[in-house]
Structure 1
Amino acid sequence: MREIVFDTETTGLDPKTGDRLVEIGCVELMGRIPTGEVFHAYYNPQRDMPSAAEEVHGLSSAFLADKPLFADGADALLEFLGDAPLVAHNAGFDFGFLNNELALCGREPIALDRMVDTVAIARKKHPGAKASLDALCTRYGIDRSHRVKHGALLDAELLAQVYLELLGGRQIGLVLDAEVEAVGASGTAITMQTIERVFRAPRPHTASEEELARHKAFLEGIADPLWNNGR
């Protein structure tokens, strides 16, 4: 099954009041294993960047000024997303901004039944515990030391690891294929080949006439055998 884990950065908290999406990062999973395929883009929001938002993600108006408009990159993004389920942390927020941008450029919204919210999964699995991305990385021992500020692709990569842990950890499923490709701890692809077993025909094990005669002679040579005590 193909899934996309994604994250967004924005100019604020509410697209209904004019806030815009400025960055999106997507990570592809296939059978709950990262494939290494990603999508990452910055967008010019055509408005100023509030200082509070810039403090979170570090994206300034000057940096975004020469970036494409969302409308200009919508086709490439939608092609990457395909019809896969979309996994996000506090997914309603990200879906709200993504669908707002699609509406502004005359595109159909992404159906909410494709939404997978890792906050909801975390709260169900760890009731009462903190469910932030940082807290879950700490719980599962996921290194986030390189996360100085929020970044859509970096956060999507961290969330992909968290998502797999929330679902039970990284396990390679039982398969019947002759070859399986997985991703190791170092992030490199590992190819494992199943061993083809050669089964030999069962060997005959019935005693020969000579062996039966020798066995009978041996038994007859035992003085007062235990199996005769019941006579």
Structure 2
Amino acid sequence: MSRLIVLDTETTGLSAETGDRVIELGCVELVNRKLTGNNLHLYFNPERDSHPDALRVHGLTTEFLSDKPKFAEKAQEILAYLQGAELIIHNAPFDVGFLNKELEQLGLKPLTSYVEKVTDSLVMAKEMFPGKRNSLDALCSRLEVDNSGRELHGALLDAELLADVYINMTRGQNSLVMLDDAGGSTGAWGGSGVAAIDLRGFKLPVLQANEQELALHTAVLAEIDKASGDKTIWRVWENAK
């Protein structure tokens, strides 16, 4: 079973090393690339005010957070939820750095000690779309993920959006599975034991080329023929008849 947790945090500011704290954690679970609804969403009392710039981003006031639990009260619940999963985080060093600082203050090991691995979706996006803006909003627009409800940053909402973005970015990376003659499943490399998709049930449309496309195709073939001295494979076959 492949278990992914898409994770996002909101914080009081930009620097865990100078005392900023985690104030919201949002986690969305995917099992075999499907949303399960087994999400985790927590607010925390950071025992300090948010920086004005951070407050404008997330809108979580000191008053709102004053009656929320402290991170220490929820740490074991969080680690139990994340245990053994692969984490998907946009700009992972930021969130992981903050969570590591919270765990360090409790005498606990770094986050990577409890999870399978951490994947940075921002790094993925930069590799897929070099030279383009790869913020979460930009990716939602590019990959047609509806983010119309995102007026303020919220950890759970952002994790839900990132889950859709991640699924779209990695679409088509699953192993190709076909049914063999006996009805068993065969992977792209001849392996077995994966869930089968019966491709015989799909009816693919056949699109015929129009006259303009046929003419362009013939012109391209003629150019290739000329460049090869009439030695293209189709000319060899034609002359052999």
- Residue 97 of structure 1 and its aligned partner are, at CA, apart by 0.5
Asked if structure 2 preserves the Cα contact closer than 8 Å seen for 1:23 and 1:43, the reply is yes
Which deviations, in whole Å up to 9, do the C-alpha atoms of 1:51-110 show, x marking residues without a partner? 211110010000000000000001111111111111100011000001111111111111
Distance in structure 2 (CA, Å) of the matches to 1:159 and 1:173: 25
Aligned match for 2:139, one of 121, 136, 150: 136
In structure 2, what is the equivalent of residue 107 of structure 1? Answer: 108
The one-letter code sitting in structure 1 at the alignment partner of 2:103 is L
The one-letter code sitting in structure 2 at the alignment partner of 1:115 is V
- Residue 168 of structure 1 and its aligned partner are, at CA, apart by 2.1
> Can you give the 5+ residue segments of structure 2 that lack an aligned partner in the other structure?
180-196, 199-241
Whichever structure has more strand as a proportion of its residues is 1
In structure 2, what is the equivalent of residue 22 of structure 1? Answer: 23
Distance in structure 1 (CA, Å) of the matches to 2:83 and 2:36: 15
CA RMSD of superposed structures (Å): 2.2
- Residue 37 of structure 1 and its aligned partner are, at CA, apart by 1.1
> Can you give the 5+ residue segments of structure 1 that lack an aligned partner in the other structure?
177-193, 196-231
Asked if structure 2 preserves the Cα contact closer than 8 Å seen for 1:9 and 1:151, the reply is yes
Distance in structure 2 (CA, Å) of the matches to 1:31 and 1:38: 15
Q: Greater CA radius of gyration, 1 or 2?
A: 1
The one-letter code sitting in structure 1 at the alignment partner of 2:65 is L
- Residue 173 of structure 1 and its aligned partner are, at CA, apart by 7.1
Aligned match for 1:155, one of 155, 158, 161: 158
Structure-1-length-normalised TM-score:
0.73
- Please give the residue correspondences for 1:168-207 in structure 2 after superposition, counting only pairs within 5 Å: 168=171, 174=177
The one-letter code sitting in structure 2 at the alignment partner of 1:117 is D
Relative distance call for 1:148 and 1:175 in structure 2 (3 A) is farther
1:167 aligned onto 2:170: yes
In structure 1, what is the equivalent of residue 85 of structure 2? Answer: 84
- Identity among equivalent pairs (%): 49
Moved over 3 A (4+): 169-176
Structure-2-length-normalised TM-score:
0.70
The one-letter code sitting in structure 2 at the alignment partner of 1:110 is L
In structure 2, what is the equivalent of residue 44 of structure 1? Answer: 45
